[in-house]
Amino acid sequence: MDVIALFPLLKLDLFNISAIIITLSALFGYINIRWLKLPTTIGLMVVAILFSIVLFISSLINPGLNDFAERIIGSIDFEHVVLDVMLGYLLFAGAMHTNFDQLKVQRWPVIVFSTLGVITSTFLVAGASFYLFGMLGLDIAFIHCLLFGALISPTDPIAVLGILKSAGVPKKLETKIVGESLFNDGVGVVVFLTIMGIATGGTGHGTDHGDGGTGLGDIAMLFGQEVIGGIIFGAVIGWITFRLLKSIDDYDIEVLITLACVTGGYALAHYFGLSAPLAMVVAGLIVGNDTVRGTAMSETTEQYVDKFWELMDILLNAILFVLIGLELIILDFQSQFVVAGIICIVLVLVCRYLSLILPVRFFRDKLDFVPNTATIMTWGGLRGGISIALALSLPPEMNRELIITVTYAVVIFSIIVQGLTVGKLATKLIGEEQMELDLKDGH
């Protein structure tokens, strides 16, 4: 009997889908380590993309396996998996291992980059893409271009944390990029949801002005509730976690407490209508702070907590980047969409650079920025699963297929090309001697 013919008989329940994705992740990881030897996250996605291409070619001979693969990937709610399941754990793990002292020094540029920078880039990308799509004969409303700008402007903390730390970028510049990415995804999601509310005639709070619009007061209320509320809530659950850790000395229960902080905290933030990603970032920064570690955790507990969240980070990153690569199987690649995606790669980079120029110049002398900070931050601002998840959340009438294809093109270029070259670019623009000095000084 044809083995491929057995695949359609496999029941696609949660366990079997998880088993297939985890097995593929392990196999792709082995292929990368054994032969490609690329950074793990990049290598996994490259192998997954190559696997998707092989499946497509094989469908010309025997469509059974490709059809089964489409069923598997199509049955995965990528938006839910990324935004509601993986994101909280990955943000908490990343924040825990971020240099808190450096982030404190760089707090003002990080705040400006992750708020005004994201909003500025959103409008720049929207205007440029609206003009581009029109030139290519693609009919799209400006509000839908704003949605594209909102989902593609935030840098992805998952991609940045998975790649940038091994790129050899000076610490003080790494802190800016990592700190920005940790906070701006939460801001970006709020901006995206606000624009979505405008596009659908309301904010989701039951406010309708009768003309399909949304008042500035409603927008400010939504932004304040989500962003400020999320930060305050994250500080509260981080403090509660700290107090619980401090009151006992049992490493296995303390690891479980940090896991409960993320799982329960993320669910509660969603329930109260707050930004769960921002809450997890703040909680992770508090729990991972050296002062908190020294007073709340024994040396043994600290080792177990660190290793647990390092492993969680590695495993979830592996699965996520494999899923990104496999999404290629179900995309609708129309020639006009592909051309638009290729041009948008350059467009998004230019808009990011323009959104960084003024903040970088303002803070440059006060905080001793390294040379060519704006250029390196532009190239190091990677996009990833969050952008794809938001694109997949769009309804079909909002040019969903076009925006998904363009987003996918930007994300793939960002992770593979930018991720592999950001370290070399930093070395070239800053200079090897300055890079060595920065690394020795811990900056």
Residue 433 clears pLDDT 60, i.e. is over it: no
The residue among 364 and 405 whose pLDDT is bigger is 405
Identify the pLDDT of residue 215: 61
Q: Which pLDDT value is given to residue 3?
A: 45
Tell me: the pLDDT tens digits for 389-401? 999 999 999 999 9
Write down the pTM of the prediction: 0.91
Q: Do both 206 and 131 map to the same domain?
A: yes
Kindly report, residue by residue over 327-361, the tens digit of the pLDDT. Answer: 999 888 899 999 999 999 999 999 999 999 999 99
Say what percent of the chain tops pLDDT 70.
90
Q: Is the domain of 324 the same as that of 354?
A: yes
42 and 94 in a single domain? The answer is no
Residues 408 and 265 in one domain: yes
Average pLDDT over residues 403-418: 96
What pLDDT score was predicted for residue 209?
A: 37
Average pLDDT in the 93-111 region? 88
Task: Indicate the residue among 38, 58, 74 that finishes a domain.
Answer: 74
**Stretch among 99-113, 247-261, 339-353, 377-391 having the lowest mean pLDDT:** 99-113
Q: Are residues 276 and 200 in the same domain?
A: yes
Q: 33 is in which domain, residue-wise? A: 4-74
Least confident of 187-196, 244-253, 255-264: 187-196
Domain end (from 23, 54, 74)? 74
Per-residue pLDDT band for 120 (boundaries 50, 70, 90) equals very high
Same domain, 15 and 158: no
**CB distance 219 to 417 below 8 Å:** no
Per-residue pLDDT, 294? 84
Residue 204: the pLDDT is 43
**Do residues 174 and 164 make contact, with C-beta atoms less than 8 angstroms apart?**
yes
Q: Domain tally for the chain?
A: 2
- Give pLDDT, residue 9: 52
Helix axes 14-31, 40-58, angle to 10 degrees: 110
Q: Which of 24, 51, 74 is the last residue of a domain?
A: 74
Task: Determine contact, residues 318/383, Cβ cutoff 8 Å.
Answer: no
Q: Looking at the chain, how many residues does it have?
A: 443
CATH number at residue 201: 1.20.1530.20
User: With 90 as the cut, is the pLDDT of residue 59 above it?
Assistant: no
Q: Find out whether 5 and 281 touch, Cβ atoms under 8 Å.
A: no
Which of 393, 318, 334, 370 has its CA nearest to residue 25?
A: 318
Query: Looking at this protein, which amino acid is placed at residue 344?
Result: C
H or E segment to which residue 385 belongs:
helix 385-392
Backbone CA torsion sign across 8, 10, 12, 16 = negative
Average pLDDT of span 188-195: 89
pLDDT grade, residue 438 (50/70/90)? low
31 and 149 share a domain? Answer: no
pLDDT, residue 185, reads 83
401 within 8 A of 337, measured Cβ to Cβ = yes
Whole-number Å distance between alpha carbons of 375 and 372: 5
CB 381 within 8 A of CB 352: yes
**Do 199 and 178 have their domain in common?**
yes
Instruction: Tell me if 168 sits within 8 A of 260, measured CB to CB.
Output: no
State whether 311 and 392 are in the same domain.
yes
What's the pLDDT score for residue 355?
A: 96
- Say if residue 116 is exposed, middle or buried (CB neighbours under 10 Å; 0-12, 13-18, 19+): middle
52 and 83 assigned to the same domain? no
For the chain, give the percent of residues with pLDDT over 90.
61
Secondary structure letter of residue 76 according to DSSP: S
Distance CA 95, CA 298 (A): 20
Q: Which residue has the tokens 């693609």?
A: 138
**Interval 427-440 mean pLDDT:** 65
Interval 274-300: pLDDT, tens: 999 999 999 999 999 888 888 899 999
Provide the pLDDT confidence category of residue 202 given band limits of 50, 70 and 90. low
